Structure 1
Amino acid sequence: MKILIPVDGSAFALKALEKAIDMAKKEGAEITVMSVALEFQDVEEIPISYLDKFKDKAIRAVDQAKEIVEKAGLKAKTRVEQGASPADNIVTFAAEEKFDLIVMGHRGLTGLDKFLVGSVAGRVVAHAPCSVLVVR
Structure 2
Amino acid sequence: MFHKILVAIDASERSQAVFDKALDLAKATAANLMILHVLSGEEEGSPTLSLIGLEYYPMLASEMTELHRKQWTDYENRCLELLRSYAKQANAAGVTAEFTQNPGSPGRTICQIARAWQADLIVMGRRGHSGVNELLLGSVSNYVLHHAPCSVLTVQGLIPADLTATAERSAPVESETVEF
TM-score range, shorter chain: 0.7 to 0.9
Match of 1:93 among 113, 117, 121: 113
Higher relative contact order (CA 8 A, sep 6+): 1
**Deviations for 1:63-120, whole angstroms, at most 9, x for unmatched residues?**
222122123222211111111x111111111111111000111129xxxxx9x97322
RMSD between aligned residues: 2.6
Equivalent position of 1:26 in the other structure = 28
Q: Structure 2 matches for 1:31-110, cutoff 5 A?
A: 31-38=33-40, 46=65, 47-83=68-104, 85-107=105-127
Amino acid at match of 1:78: F
TM-score of the superposition, structure 1-length normalised?
0.79
* C-alpha displacement of 1:39: 5.9
Q: Percent identity?
A: 32
Is the CA contact 1:36–1:80 (under 8 Å) kept in the aligned structure 2? Answer: yes
TM-score of the superposition, structure 2-length normalised?
0.61
Equivalent position of 2:61 in the other structure = none
Equivalent pairs, count: 127
**Is the partner of 2:101 in helix, strand or coil?**
strand
Equivalent position of 2:167 in the other structure = none
Amino acid at match of 1:25: K
Highest CA radius of gyration, 1 or 2? 2
Gaps of 5+ in 1: 109-113
